[in-house]
Structure 1
Amino acid sequence: MIEVTLLGTGSPIPDPDRAGPSTLIRAGGQTFLVDCGRGVLQRLAAAGSGANQLTALLLTHLHSDHIADLGDVIITRWVTTFTPDPVPLQIIGPPGTAQVVDAMLAAFGHDIGYRIAHHADLTAPPAVQVHEYTDGEVWALDGVRVLAAPTDHRPVAPTIGFRVEHAGASVVLAGDTVPCQTLDALTAGAGALVHTAIRHDLVEAVGLQRIRDICDYHSTVQQAADTAARAGVGILILTHYVPSPAPGQYDEWRALAAGIFDRQIELGDDLHRVQVHPGVGVRPAG
C-alpha cells in the first residue's frame, strides 16, 4: 500500500487554510516529500512526520510556490537530526535544482555558521545530495522505485512528474502541467494520479491579465480527469486548487471531474489522506 497525504493544497496566493503545494508519499517504510511549498513543515508535523524522517525530497519544478520552504526543510532536517554521520538529504529534481540548492545554502550561510559555532556536535554544513533528471528511473531502494518523465508547463522548463511504485501499488504525481503524451505514458495503468486542478472558468472571470495568464500552462479539472481516464488509473486525486474551493464547493469540483472520469475521485483540505492498494488502476488505458 502507498499512502498519499495532501500536505498543502494551496496556490501562490496566501491562504489562511491551505499550505503551499506539497504531497507526502509513504511507501515501503520510506517517506518522500514531493515539492515543498509554503508552510510544509507545519503540515508535515501535523501528518506525524518531520524533515528528519524524509527519505528524499522530490521536486517537480522550480516555481517559487513549489520550493518556497526548501531552505526550511534543509536547515530543520540538519538541526533535528542527532545521529552521528547523518545520511544526506537526497534531493531529486529537474536540471537547475543543484543551482537552487547551492543558492539556498548560501542564503542561510550566516545561520549555518552561527549554529556550527554554538553547537559542538554540528561540525559541518547540512549534508545534501542533489540528483538532476528529466526522464527514467530516479530511485530504487528496498522494493520502492521512482520514475520521472517530462511534463509541459512551458515557459517553465524543464518540469517533471514522478511515479512511485511499491509491491504492485503505484502513484503518479503530475506537478503543474497541461496534458501531454509523456505524462500519459508515465501514468498508464497507475493506481492513482495526483494532479493540479485549475478552474479556468473562474480564473478567466478575473479582471487581471496576470492572473488569467495561469490558464495557459495548467490543466483544468476536466483535463486532469481526462488524463486520468486515458491512462486508466484507479483514483484521481486533485490538489493545488486555483481558486481554492469555498466551503461546500467540493461537490461542484468533483462533478466536473466525474463527467469525464468514472472511477474514484478524491479532493479535500490539507492533510487529506488516500490509500492506494495493489491492483488499483489495472484497467487498460484507452
Structure 2
Amino acid sequence: MKVRFKRVRTVLILLVVLAIGAFAALRVPAVQDWLFVQGVKRGMAVHADMMPAEGHLKVLLCGTSAPPPSMVRAKACTVVMAGTHVFVVDTGPGSANRLGLWRFPFERIEGVMLTHFHSDHIGDLGEFRMQGWVAGRTAPLPLYGPTGVEELAAGVNRTYAADAAYRAGEHELDAAAAELVAVPFGLADEAQRVKHDASAIIYDKDGLRITAFQVMHEPVYPAVGYRFDYKGRSVVISGDTAVSSNLVRAAKDADLLVHEGQSEAMRQTFAQALAEAGRTKLARVIGQVGNYHVTPVQAAEAANAAKVKLLVFNHMGPIAPDNWLLRQIFARGLADARPASGWTLGYDGMILDLPVGSKEIARRQAG
C-alpha cells in the first residue's frame, strides 16, 4: 500500500511539474509564435467538403433561419456544388461569415442566384462580392435573378465603389473584377403573375442544367425557386413561397428538396406576445407572414406530390428551432404527413452529398 501511495504521489508531482512547465513555456514568445503558426497552417487548409468534386452534386446549407435573430443560424443561403461548378443561392445576413469560418473558397463561386429581393436573402451580397475578389476572382461576379436584379447589382456596386477603390490601390487588385454583373432571366412578366407557372433554363453546361421557376410569394413579385440537375442527380431549392403547384412540377422526382417552413403555432404565439408587449407594428408583420409562406406540413405535402426522395427544411421560422422544445413545435404534424426517413430539419453547416451514379444522399457537418 505504501509503495502504491508513493507511486501515485510521484505521478502527481510529475504532473504538477509538467503543468507548471507548460504554463511557463506558454508565456515564452517563441513558443506562442510556434503554436500560432501551427494553428494558422491547420486553419488555412480547405477541407474537401468545401471543394467541388467531379461526379458529385453537393449542397451546403450556409443559412437556415428566417428573419428573426438566431444565435446559431445565418439568414437564407445555400451553396450548390455540381462537379467543378459552384453557385450560391441567396446571400442572407451572416452567411458569408459562416462560410468564412468553414474556410470556404469564395473565389470558386461561379455565380450568385437570388430567389427574390427581400433583405434576409440579399443582405450579404457586398461580402460575397468582396470576399471572392480578394481571394483571387479575376472577373466580375455574375448575379442571376428575375427582372429587377439589374437595379440591385448596380446599387450594390455603387455602395461598395469606394471599398473596391481602396482595396484595389492597397493590394494591386483589378477593381473591375470586384463588381457584380447582373444576369437577368425575366420571369416577371405581369401576364404570368396570375398563374405563377413560368420557368426558364438559365444555365446548361458540362452536364449541369439549372432551371428557375416562379413560386407564389405575393405580394412579393417576382419570386423564384431553382432546380439543379447534374448527371442524373437533382436538387430543388424552393425559395420563399406559399403553396405552389409550379414548385411541385419543378420538383418532380427530385432527389432532394430544400424547402422553407413556417410554424403556424409559433407564429400565432409570437405575434400575440409582441402585441401584448406593445410592439404592435411588428406583431402585425408576424401575423401576416402566414399569407405568403408554407407550414412544415404543407411543405411535406408538396414533397409527397412531387415524389421527392428527401425533404430538408431551411428558412425555418418565425423563430428558428434551435433547441429541443422548438424542434418539437416546428415538426408537429410531420409524422402524419411524411415518413420520418423522408425529411429532416436543416442546420447551418449541413452538407448533403449526392454522388453521381448512385441513389445515396450522404449527410455530414461542415467544420
The two structures have a TM-score, normalised by structure 2, of: 0.71
1:232 positional shift: 0.3
More helix by share: 2
With over 3 angstroms needed to count, the CA separation of the structure-2 counterparts of 1:182 and 1:108, relative to structure 1, is same
Q: Highest relative contact order (Cα 8 Å, sep 6+), 1 or 2?
A: 1
Q: Percent identity?
A: 29
1:11-160 matches, within 5 Å, as 11-81=66-136, 86-124=138-176, 126-133=178-185, 134=187, 135-160=199-224
More strand by share: 1
**1:178 and 2:256 equivalent?**
no
Q: Is the 8 A contact 2:80 2:86 kept in 1?
A: yes
Please identify the structure whose Cα radius of gyration is greater: 2
Greater alpha carbon shift after TM alignment, 18-27 vs 127-136: 127-136
Q: Name the amino acid aligned to 1:15.
A: S
Q: How big is the alpha-carbon RMSD for the aligned residues of Structure 1 and Structure 2?
A: 2.0
Which residue matches 2:228?
A: 164
Q: Is the 8 A contact 1:191 1:279 kept in 2?
A: no
Q: Is the 8 A contact 2:260 2:294 kept in 1?
A: yes
With over 3 angstroms needed to count, the CA separation of the structure-2 counterparts of 1:116 and 1:45, relative to structure 1, is closer
Greater alpha carbon shift after TM alignment, 22-31 vs 166-175: 22-31
Q: Is the 8 A contact 1:2 1:275 kept in 2?
A: yes
Which residue matches 1:248?
A: 324
Select 1:221's aligned residue among 273, 278, 296: 296
Q: Name the amino acid aligned to 1:78.
A: W
Greater alpha carbon shift after TM alignment, 226-235 vs 23-32: 23-32
Q: Is the 8 A contact 2:143 2:180 kept in 1?
A: yes
1:143 positional shift: 1.0
Select 2:342's aligned residue among 238, 241, 264: 264
Q: Is the 8 A contact 2:296 2:330 kept in 1?
A: yes
C-alpha distance after superposition, 1:90-111 (max 9, x if no partner): 2111111110111011011221
Greater alpha carbon shift after TM alignment, 156-165 vs 13-22: 13-22
**1:8 and 2:60 equivalent?**
no
Q: Is the 8 A contact 1:176 1:218 kept in 2?
A: yes
1:251 positional shift: 5.1
1:255 positional shift: 5.3
Q: Is the 8 A contact 1:22 1:40 kept in 2?
A: yes
Moved over 3 A (4+): 249-255, 276-281
- Which runs of no fewer than 5 residues in structure 2 stay unpaired? 1-55, 188-198, 273-282, 361-367
Question: SS at the partner of 1:13?
Answer: coil
- Which runs of no fewer than 5 residues in structure 1 stay unpaired? 282-286
C-alpha distance after superposition, 1:44-96 (max 9, x if no partner): 134442321212211100000000001111122222216xxx23322111111
Q: Is the 8 A contact 2:140 2:176 kept in 1?
A: no
C-alpha distance after superposition, 1:88-135 (max 9, x if no partner): 322111111110111011011221222233333435352433211223
The CA distance in 1 between the partners of 2:240 and 2:304, in whole Å, is: 18
The CA distance in 2 between the partners of 1:172 and 1:166, in whole Å, is: 12
Aligned residues: 278
The CA distance in 1 between the partners of 2:294 and 2:284, in whole Å, is: 18
With over 3 angstroms needed to count, the CA separation of the structure-2 counterparts of 1:123 and 1:43, relative to structure 1, is closer
Q: Name the amino acid aligned to 2:133.
A: W
Q: Name the amino acid aligned to 1:225.
A: A
With over 3 angstroms needed to count, the CA separation of the structure-2 counterparts of 1:2 and 1:256, relative to structure 1, is farther
**1:230 and 2:294 equivalent?**
no
C-alpha distance after superposition, 1:206-249 (max 9, x if no partner): 22222111111001001100110000000000011102114114
With over 3 angstroms needed to count, the CA separation of the structure-2 counterparts of 1:129 and 1:4, relative to structure 1, is same
1:150 positional shift: 0.3
The CA distance in 2 between the partners of 1:276 and 1:99, in whole Å, is: 35
Question: SS at the partner of 2:324?
Answer: coil
Which residue matches 1:212?
A: 287
With over 3 angstroms needed to count, the CA separation of the structure-2 counterparts of 1:46 and 1:259, relative to structure 1, is farther
With over 3 angstroms needed to count, the CA separation of the structure-2 counterparts of 1:48 and 1:141, relative to structure 1, is farther
1:276 positional shift: 3.2
With over 3 angstroms needed to count, the CA separation of the structure-2 counterparts of 1:255 and 1:202, relative to structure 1, is closer
